[in-house]
Homo-oligomer: A and B are copies of this chain.
Amino acid sequence: MRALAAKLEAATAAPGPAPARPRVVGALSAAVVDSNPYSRLMALQRMGIVKDYERIRGVTIAIVGVGGVGSVAAEMLTRCGVGRLLLFDYDTVELANMNRLFFTPDQAGMTKTAAAAKVGGGWGVAGWPRANPSHLLSPPQTLANINPDVAVEAYHMNVATVAGFDAFKAAICRARERAAAPTDAAPPPAPSRVDLILSCVDNYEARMTVNQVALELAQPWLESGVSEDAVSGHIQLLVPGATACFACVPPLVVASGIDERTLKREGVCAASLPTTMGVIAGLLVQAALKRVLSFGAVSGYLGYSSLTDFFPALDIKPNPGCLNPACVAAQAAHAAAAAAAPPPPPAAVEAAPEHEDNEWGIECTADDGGEGGGGGSGGGEGRPLPAGVEYSLPAAAAPAPAALAAATAAAAADAHGGAGVDDLMAQLQALGR
């Protein structure tokens, strides 16, 4: 059997028939033919949804956690033709994961990153199959086999360790193109090469790690989560300085300083459903596409309660008393940039009719809601809150730059010791005045 396998490997390594389809190098085809995997995506331009879909070829996205949500998010982005994907996970595939999408039973025991990213037997490293000796050989369900046009980097590691933090940050920062002649000299500090990080992890420690790296690199990211009873979930957009960071309004277990690992009980596992995780992955990647391709509005926070089909959407403003000094500094930088920027020009009024012909005589009348209601203006900031929800800070209390600078300095001074609650309350009251 081993000899047969070796023979087979040799056979598949030999040059075979021409690939079914050439790899995409630059332009995506918009041709409406059955053999074009991008026809339905390029149609987004013709339909007026996306101005320039091909921009996606230049987009790099990192996914932390390749489980029930992350693996599906990776597959969606792969099928959309994203330029580059970075996958981070320390876990292996188990049969107990089979109730979620993507992984298959034959991958049990493989690392999740390898199972997702690696090219299967008989398939070329960077292209379409070289030789498929018989119909018996089928490529495994991996991102590289689904769309060889996407560059996938797999990092089998835990980001929530000291070494993992550094390696994660370095992977996010690595220069897009490696220098032709590497030297031993330390590389200069590189900015992030990643357009967006998607957090798809199942614990707060990893989320706090992503939060810290994002704050240090001024890196926008999207957080996601599914409840332990499997029937609700959420996504959240975090832009350093502009929105709340993950430490601004910490979850109770984080704020209480409880080690979440002590909460797990023997013989008890969280429930999960492919439906809830598929919906959250879909909402997450939809938000990512809206942001990187500039269409629609990205909610600051979007929840999903499946028992009642309730989808709360709201924005979460940054907390000037955030315990993370990098967040407070980012808030100051954001406020300074906003103050320096010229006021935006008034939005151009759409004078053209919505539809060329109107044989049914349909008329539009204004809603009572006026210009509110979450229309298609990008960014999601400034959306009116749903009924019954209030901002925790008064709307008029935009912090004065001087007060904010003082708060920033105070927080920075306390960076290693941690600011006392009383101090923070005093700062908060000063800002609220």
Binding site for B on A (CB under 8 A): 1-2, 4-5, 7-9, 11-12, 20-21, 32-41, 43-44, 46-49, 72, 75-76, 79-81, 94-96, 98-101, 104-106, 108, 120-122, 128-129, 132-141, 145-147, 228-231, 252, 267-279, 281-283, 285-286, 289-290, 295-297, 299, 302, 306-311, 313, 360, 367-368, 373-376, 388
Contacting residues, chain B, for A271 (C-beta < 8 A): 40-41, 43-44, 46-47, 49
CB-CB under 8 A from A37, the residues of chain B are: 95-96, 98-99, 105
Min distance, Cβ A381 to any Cβ of chain B, angstroms: 14
Residue of B38, B79, B273 near A286 (CB, 8 A) is B273
A296 adjacent to B307 (CB under 8 Å)? yes
- B108–A135 touching, CB < 8 Å: no
Which residue of B108, B136, B140 is within 8 Å of A12 (Cβ)?
B136
Say yes or no: A286-B308 contact (C-beta < 8 A), given A37-B95, A270-B40, A271-B40: no
Query: Which chain B residue lies CB-closest to A68?
Result: B40
Given contacts A99-B41, A134-B8, A268-B46, A297 and B308 within 8 Å (CB-CB) = yes
Shortest CB–CB separation between residue A122 and chain B, in angstroms? 6
A46: chain B residues within 8 A (beta carbon): 268, 271
Contacts of A76 in B (CB 8 A): 101, 274-275, 278
Complex Cα distance, B147 from A271, in Å, reads 19
- In the complex, are the beta carbons of A8 and B136 less than 8 A apart? yes
Complex CA distance for A43 and B228, rounded to whole angstroms: 9
* Contact A96 to B309, CB < 8 A, known contacts A80-B273, A279-B283: no
Q: Are B80 and A99 in contact, CB atoms less than 8 angstroms apart?
A: yes
Contacts A8-B8, A281-B278, A307-B297 given: A32-B269 contact, CB under 8 Å? yes
Report yes or no: A145 in contact with B95, Cβ–Cβ below 8 A.
no
Cα(A191)–Cα(B75), bound, Å: 40
- B residues within 8 A CB of A286? 273, 275-276, 279, 306
Shortest beta-carbon distance from A13 to chain B in Å: 11
Q: Is the CB of B141 within 8 A of A121?
A: no
Residues of B near A268 (CB, < 8 A) are 32, 43, 46
- CB < 8 Å neighbour of A95 from B35, B49, B275: B35
Provide the bound-state CA to CA distance between A101 and B71, in Å.
12
Contacts of A96 in B (CB 8 A): 33-37, 39-40
Instruction: List, in ascending order, chain B residues with CB within 8 A of A134's CB.
Output: 1-2, 4-5, 8-9, 121
